[in-house]
Amino acid sequence: MKSISGALACAALSLTAGSALAATPFQNDVTTSINLGIEYLATNNAFTGAAGDATGLATQALLEKRASGNPADPPSGYTGASAVDKGRLRTAAVYMINQTAAQVGNGQLTTYRDGQRLFALAGYALTGGPDKSVLGTSITIKQAMDILTDKIVGNQSAAGYWCYNNGGCTDSSTTQFASAGLEAAKTFYVSPKVGDTPFADPARAASVITALAKTAALYAASTGTGSDNGSCNVLSPTERGHGYHSPVEGYKPSLQQTASGIYIQLFGGSDVNSPGVQHYMEWIKNRYRYQDLDSMGNSWPQNSWSYYLWSSFKGMELIRQSGGIPSPGNVGPNDYGTLPPASAPACVQRQVNKDPAALPRVPLFGAGGVGYYSAETKGQYFDYAHEILGTQQANGGYFANLGVGVGRSPWENFSHQSYMLLVLQRSTGNVQQKCDVNGDGKIDSTDIKAIMASIGVPPVAGDVRDFNSDGVINIIDVRQCTLQCTNAKCVP
């Protein structure tokens, strides 16, 4: 593939928002890739309605654009976006809000779409995106969030699942979108921020927390074992996972649904050492892959691969951000890829971490021999990001291994493109980080003071003020959150 590094460098300079921190050669290539990938979305009208039900994912990818590939660079959100990107975000918000206004009531649920809209609109609003008075929409952001939240909560099945348009089946692919949307809605409803109207809504926050806890408990209790790939069937007595549907219906765990089952449990208040989370992490560790799903995804291997990359990275990134340390003997987020395929329990499909020092530069981004990425650390992020960069084409699409859009629906194309971007951006989908009390995406003295003022207050499920999840908010949480501050000495 012909190098386009010169043009890409110019594009990166003109497209990047904010001021960038120092970055490594790989991080610079990641930044270039993200900017190209977002331009692919814009060129194909993803922000003006062409992405349809995938507009939420595309919008999320635009909100998560960063000034550099340096992990310490925060997402731009709306406020930090360039003027061009702000226009795109407003256009996408208008599309989603007006569509939502016309789809009111429990019978109008599309779980995939509405879960996405919840996290995209929450992210847009919480980072300063203008409301109805500027957008000219028929309803406010708060009203749109309420419609979406009420539909999703109202359609949750008694067991805790969602189906495509109701609670009538045990579909995990829709359930994870519902949970991801509700988690972002929780952040929205506990926020002190105001658009045209205040976002805070304690009653809805409570109903969201209850719904999230129910689904989390369901996943934690999963009895799913084994794998569709017979050579990596049951690998240990304690591993568990989740497939496309409930294990009660005979579905064996899949990589992507087990991965999303981890963050579903985290949203309900679990942490890295919770038994259910450990069972799922063990299942994935035993079958860790980044190249493809290799028959460990129940079905739809191509479409599910990109989703697997995001869902499995997102869960581990949430654990990293929470500061949770695995207890001795437990699986941690940095353990993926450390177990060779022949090691017990043997699984020939399992992959080990890529060695950044042994790889040349991805040709699309310019010349660079073996060792060009040697500044990187082995691990899940490099595995995924390097794999993704290798699939990108000169037009920005991540389709080199799929066939360029041939026979693929807008949903398939735009969701796939967005998933890839969200991995590169280390996105957690507007999930409120522990300690980030005001939900502004950073931890500073404002948050620490709020936690200090909450000492002795009983925490709610998944309370971001209870850093160590020990059921009390005390001075230890204050200190531990101080250590999580975005800037030194918690300067805002």
Partner 1 sequence: MKLKSLAAAVAALLVPMAVWAGPVTVSIVPAVQNVNQGGNVTATVRIDGLLGVPDQLSAYDLRITYDTGSLTLLSHSFLSDAFFGGGALESFNAGGGVAADIVDSFFTLPADLAAAQAGIDGFDLFSLTFMAANVDSFTNLAFALVPNISPYVLGNNNGNSLAANYTGACISIGAGTCGVTPVPEPGTFALMAVGLLATGAVGRRNRNRPKEGTVAA
CB nearer to partner 1: give 107 or 471. 471
Q: What's at 188, amino acid-wise?
A: F
Q: What's at 149, amino acid-wise?
A: T
**Of 22, 158, 342, 488, which one interacts with partner 1 (CB under 8 A)?**
488
CB of 446 to partner 1, least distance (A): 12
Question: Which window, 72-80, 245-253, 290-298, 473-481, contacts partner 1 (CB under 8 A)?
Answer: 473-481
229 binds partner 1 (CB under 8 A): no
Three-class SS of 59-114: HHHHHCCECCCCCCCCECCCCCCCHHHHHHHHHHHHHHHHHHHCCCCHHHCCHHHH
489 binds partner 1 (CB under 8 A): yes
Per-residue binder mask for partner 1 (CB under 8 A), 44-83, x = binder = ----------------------------------------
258 SS3 class: helix
Handedness of CA 183, 187, 190, 195 (dihedral sign): negative
Name the strand (E) or helix (H) holding 121. helix 111-126
Distance CA 216, CA 108 (A): 25
153 binds partner 1 (CB under 8 A): no
Q: What's at 426, amino acid-wise?
A: R
Give the list of residues 6+ apart from residue 384 with CB closer than 8 angstroms, or none.
Answer: 290, 309, 313, 423
Instruction: Please count the other Cβ atoms lying within 10 Å of the Cβ belonging to residue 22.
Output: 8
Handedness of CA 408, 91, 125, 66 (dihedral sign): positive
For the chain, what percentages of helix, strand and coil (3-state, to nearest 5) are there?
50, 0, 50
357 binds partner 1 (CB under 8 A): no
480 binds partner 1 (CB under 8 A): yes
490 binds partner 1 (CB under 8 A): yes
Instruction: Tell me the site size for partner 1, rule CB under 8 A.
Output: 23
CB nearer to partner 1: give 10 or 483. 483
CB of 146 to partner 1, least distance (A): 33
CB nearer to partner 1: give 248 or 475. 475
Q: Of 421, 357, 430, 416, nearest to 180 (Cα)?
A: 430
Question: Which window, 25-33, 144-152, 225-233, 481-489, contacts partner 1 (CB under 8 A)?
Answer: 481-489
CB of 319 to partner 1, least distance (A): 17
Per-residue binder mask for partner 1 (CB under 8 A), 411-450, x = binder = ----------------------------------x--xx-
CB of 491 to partner 1, least distance (A): 8
Distance CA 207, CA 210 (A): 5
* Residues β-bridged to residue 75: 66
Alpha-carbon separation of residue 64 from 81, 94, 172, 298 (angstroms): 9, 19, 25, 30
CB of 321 to partner 1, least distance (A): 16
CB nearer to partner 1: give 76 or 468. 468
CB of 474 to partner 1, least distance (A): 5
262 binds partner 1 (CB under 8 A): no
Q: Residues interacting with partner 1, by CB under 8 A?
A: 445, 448-449, 452-453, 455-458, 472-476, 478-480, 482-483, 485, 488-490
